[in-house]
Chains A and B, each alone.
Chain A
Amino acid sequence: MRDVKTSKTYKDRAKVAANKPAALGEDIDLSTYVSSAEEQPYQADPSQLPAEAKEQMLGAGIILDDVDRRSGTFIQMDNVSVHSSTRQEGIEVMPVGQALEKYDWMADYWWRAVAVDTDKYTANVELSQHDGYFIRALPGYKTILPVQACLYLSKVRLAQNVHNIIIAEENSEMHIITGCTTASREEPGLHLGVSEFYIKRGAKVTFTMIHSWNPEVAVRPRTVAIVEENGLLLSNYVLMKPVHSLQMYPAARCVGENAKVRYNSILMAAKGSSLDVGSRVILGAKGAGAEIVSRAITTGGNIIARGYIEGSAPEVKGHLECRGLILHGKGTIHAIPELKGNLAGVDLSHEAAVGKIAEEEVEYLMARGLSRTEATATIVRGFLRVDIEGLPPMLSAELQRAVEASEKDLM
């Protein structure tokens, strides 16, 4: 499929790491999953995809019936890309395999942010990978409408192996919505997704990922972003549906002066769900900044909410905010905020809180005439409202919709 010159080296390194357990999260036995899937026909018109798949995708923010609202679309079903298109100049969207064939320079981006031998999951992606997406904004192009990418898992017991490359060339700006979902049934599956972001000088990327799995699916994304001088990554993650086991700890490395990163995560764990999710930022250049905000709600599942900011350059600033709400049931939220400063002059702070809804707040709203249920719902909605500076109103509305769609599951 591809011809990256150094691919032999990567394959060798992957083979060595094929059984290397991950640093965090429950170990998944990869041998219980299959990696091959049937060919899927290419769909020139994505609105012609089966209605059931489209509905599931819509729940993850992927709109196929009104593509005018998107500047580009990529859809992968199981391990095969079935559609890719762009509707706007300056944006490239294609299967990553095609990009590897088209561009010699892809070797400069392939496994350069994420190490292939990080753990057995990254190794498995290298050894069994079939596809993934390539999204690139050309230098100086700024798009308002988002590019959407969907990774859809339908075959039972499939290990979906995906390797994505996102490049924002100098002074470009783009918005990406990624929706990951499954066919509407409760069958086991595994999603392994490697994503490498390259945000060049002065470029701005907002990346909004909506996960909508089922209670039997295990998920292990591996993501690293490299942000250059004056670059900005605004990454939003929403998980409001049950999942069996999800562990991810995406990282951003600010390598250029004044690079800025903000991670927002909204997590919900139903009974039976086990989440170990965090965001990590290395502030490695003067004036770099990071903000990590997470909101975790459990209705009976377990959540480890991590955050890590490391300051190792002058005049860097980072703040981490991690709040958890135990709504009902016997769920656990374990907040682990970490800060590391390596020289004088770094400014890092965090706040973390885990608890139940304060009765005083419920009564305050009831004194205005809301019933107890209405008051609780208002407080939960407020808890999940994360003001995302710089996010276009349309994306903000879509994010809010993804959250609100699941609110009834919480009550």
Chain B
Amino acid sequence: MLKIKNLAVAVGDKEILHDVSLTIRRGETHVLFGPNGSGKTTLLATIMGFPKYRVIRGSISFKGKDITGLSLDERARFGIGMSFQRPPVVRGVETRDMVAACLKEPESEETINKLASRTNLADFLHREINYGFSGGEIKRSEMMQLMAQKPELALLDEPESGVDLENIALIGKLINELLEKDCLIVNRKCMGLIITHTGHILDYVNARTGYVMCDGVIGCEGDPHEILAVVREKGYEECIRCLMKRRGMMSRPEVNKEVP
């Protein structure tokens, strides 16, 4: 189980996330909606443990252990994996090297080739990672690495952005494989948290819970398809309006509070 409690996160001197709580059980897939700049990537990057994102309040626990103090690589080895929206180019490091680094089992040519063929990247293994890759190639390469890593918590940052329709279908299929959607929930080992701005990925991947993040807080939680229907009809402006209205009624979340 992933349990995030009253999390507040700062980047530099600026508090980006305020009082975020959510729980994902093994086998479940949750989706995070929200306009650009609302803090979705900050939440994923904080769960992954990137040092730039500083937890100032609250906690993150995973598999019953408080991981708030674990480093990025310790979290990766503890079972958390992330697909990047815009991963960096690493010159001279081949895609194959990255897949080999992700593999938990001893490196085998056969395993790597199989993964490459499943992600339609057989010709990319000896290319420098992300160098000159198209949007779809980047996403498939991120999925290939995650499939090698076999995380128990997969954090997927906009897996469909910049991808054409044909590739979205393939990426959806790969996500379903990664999240073991063909197994009963009780038999799955993996859980997922997916960021989506447009919601297109929901046409291919089933999710149990959706959240809308606005201005660093989770504004609402519910059935992802219902949320998406509202967003598609009225846009995120409606979510922001709704949040502002409720903020007026309730005590305001700790926005712009000074960082200790």
Chain A residues at the B interface, C-beta cutoff of 8 Å:
323, 358, 360-361, 363-372, 374-375, 378-379, 381-385
Contact = CB atoms under 8 A, between A and B. Distances in A.
Given A382-B90, A382-B91, A369 B76 contact: yes
A97 B214 CA distance: 82
Contacts of A323: 91
Interface in B43-76: 48, 50-51, 71-73, 76
Say which size band chain B's interface belongs to. Answer: 20 to 34
B222 interface: no
A163 B101 CA distance: 47
B92 A369 contact: no
B92 A358 contact: no
A370 B101 contact: yes
B88 A383 contact: no
B143 to A, nearest CB: 13
Given A369-B102, A379-B93, 8 more contacts: A365-B93, A367-B50, A367-B72, A367-B82, A368-B81, A368-B145, A369-B77, A369-B149
Contacts of A363: 50-51, 72
Contact of A369 (B84, B87, B101): B101
A361 to B, nearest CB: 5
A382 B97 contact: yes
A372 B72 CA distance: 9
A364 B101 contact: no
Contacts of A372: 73
A367 B48 contact: yes
B98 interface: yes
Given A378-B97, A378-B101, A367 B92 contact: no
A365 B82 contact: no
A366 B98 CA distance: 11
Interface in B90-145: 90-94, 97-98, 101-102, 128, 145
A382 B93 contact: yes
A364 B77 contact: no
21 contacts: A358-B88, A361-B90, A364-B88, A365-B90, A365-B101, A366-B73, A367-B82, A368-B101, A368-B145, A369-B149, A370-B73, A370-B101, A375-B73, A378-B97, A378-B101, A379-B93, A382-B91, A383-B91, A383-B92, A384-B92, A385-B92
Contacts of A375: 73
Contacts of B97: 378, 382
Contacts of A382: 90-94, 97, 128
A214 B209 CA distance: 65
A382 B126 CA distance: 12
Given A369-B149, A378-B97, A364 B73 contact: no
Contacts of A370: 73, 101
Contacts of A379: 90, 92-93
B93 A368 contact: no
Nearest to B148: A368
A124 B128 CA distance: 46
A281 B97 CA distance: 34
Given A378-B97, A382-B97, A367 B76 contact: yes
B90 A366 contact: no
Most chain A beta carbons < 10 A, residue from B71, B82, B88: B88
Contact of A368 (B50, B76, B128): B76
Nearest to A357: B90
Contacts of A368: 76, 81, 98, 101-102, 145, 149
A371 B72 CA distance: 9
A248 B51 CA distance: 43
Contact of A361 (B82, B88, B94): B88
Contact of B90 (A364, A369, A371, A384): A364
A296 B101 CA distance: 26
A336 B93 CA distance: 26
Nearest to B82: A367
A379 B128 CA distance: 11
Contacts of B81: 367-368
Most chain A beta carbons < 10 A, residue from B76, B82, B149: B76
Most chain A beta carbons < 10 A, residue from B92, B101, B145: B92
List the 6 closest A-B pairs by CB distance, nearest first.
A382-B92, A382-B93, A369-B76, A366-B73, A385-B92, A366-B72
B64 to A, nearest CB: 20
A270 to B, nearest CB: 21
B112 to A, nearest CB: 14
A114 B84 CA distance: 54
A364 B92 contact: no
A399 to B, nearest CB: 14
Most chain A beta carbons < 10 A, residue from B50, B73, B98, B149: B73
Contacts of A385: 92
Nearest to B50: A363
A236 to B, nearest CB: 16
B76 to A, nearest CB: 4
Contacts of B91: 323, 382-383
Contacts of A371: 73
B149 A364 contact: no
